[in-house]
Copies of this chain bind each other. A is one copy, B any other.
Amino acid sequence: MQNTYQQPSQRPEKQNRARMLISCPDRPGIVAAVSEFLYQHGANIVQSDQYSMDPGGGMFFIRFEFDLKDLEKELPILQEDFARVADRFDMKWNIFRAARRKRLAIFVSKEDHCLLELLWQWQAGDLDAEIAMVISNHPDMRELVESFGIPYIHIPVTADTKAEAERKQLEAVSGKADLIVLARYMQIITPKFIEQFPNRIINIHHSFLPAFVGGKPYAQAYQRGVKIIGATAHYVTEELDGGPIIEQDVQRVSHRDNVDDLKRIGRTIERVVLARGVKWHIEDRILVHQNKTVVFN
């Protein structure tokens, strides 16, 4: 089982770097088998991270980062050969070339702070991806987005045109995006859309989940009188705000902060948390098991 979608643009300096993600039932010999395999194929492991749910019979997760001479040419051979190892251990696995930047489609509504953070980190070279397009149900941010040289696609969504809008969205991203980022996109994503991008849609929810699921979380937080607010980046599943959590962060607030203050303070948390989640995804640091993430960061 292996990810096959194409990633276009190249980073010469990481030309021979690859990342391997494996999850499988735990049993003796996995690390030895994989590292021996890589060594035999001339790959030099530059980083490894491993997590075993339970030594006595749970799941095993491992991430290797390795360098291999002539990676572009050698990788297909290595992948073909690896199938035997993978079969032996009943592995789910992927190998990603670091030089192939992932392509992002960013969805946005009217709040621009999360989009701006991504654009900005991207421009600063901190977000090693290609931003293929920005899709919005509003026309407002066209000028901003196009000033970065990024295509802006305005797809209005109304109660009547939901199905048609989604069809257009899917057409826009199909074959052109490896990851969908909901950067404060305020429309519901349907199961039909989600199944096209399993664990490849990241949403930022403006609360410390599972507190304050659903709408107006800052108003809910103010009402409850919490002393700390937060934000959560998670993969989107059919359950609203219920998908695997990738990252969370928080900040202290006080009785002095009204709902607008919470929104203002929260904007900074949201920006940072979403950017971290996206960064870890595009660096192939996240494995999903059941409804939880293993993040090797």
Chain A residues close to B by CB (< 8 Å)? 27-33, 35-36, 38-40, 42-52, 55, 67, 112-113, 116, 120, 124, 126, 147, 208-212, 224-228, 230, 244-250, 252, 254-256, 264, 267-268, 272, 291-295
Please give me the residue from chain B that is nearest to A254 by CB atom: B295
CA distance A43 to B42 in the complex (A): 25
Please give me the residue from chain B that is nearest to A234 by CB atom: B225
Whether B31 lies near A48 (C-beta < 8 A) is yes
Whether A28 lies near B39 (C-beta < 8 A) is yes
CA distance A38 to B50 in the complex (A): 16
Whether B227 lies near A248 (C-beta < 8 A) is yes
Interface residues of chain A: helix, strand, loop or mixed (majority)? mixed
Please give me the residue from chain B that is nearest to A222 by CB atom: B292
CA distance A212 to B126 in the complex (A): 24
CA distance A120 to B212 in the complex (A): 28
Whether B49 lies near A38 (C-beta < 8 A) is no
Kindly identify which residue among B47, B126, B224, B256 contacts A245, using a CB–CB cutoff of 8 Å. Answer: B224
Given contacts A255-B292, A264-B126, contact A228 B211 (CB under 8 A): no
| Chain B residues positioned under 8 Å from A268 (CB to CB) | 272
Whether A256 lies near B292 (C-beta < 8 A) is no
Please give me the residue from chain B that is nearest to A112 by CB atom: B124
Whether B47 lies near A51 (C-beta < 8 A) is yes
Whether B245 lies near A227 (C-beta < 8 A) is yes
CA distance A42 to B29 in the complex (A): 9
A64 to chain B, nearest CB (A): 8
Kindly identify which residue among B33, B249, B256, B294 contacts A51, using a CB–CB cutoff of 8 Å. Answer: B256
Whether B228 lies near A250 (C-beta < 8 A) is yes
Can you report 9 residue pairs joining A to B where beta carbons are below 8 Å apart? A31-B35, A32-B35, A35-B35, A55-B67, A113-B120, A208-B208, A208-B228, A226-B248, A227-B247
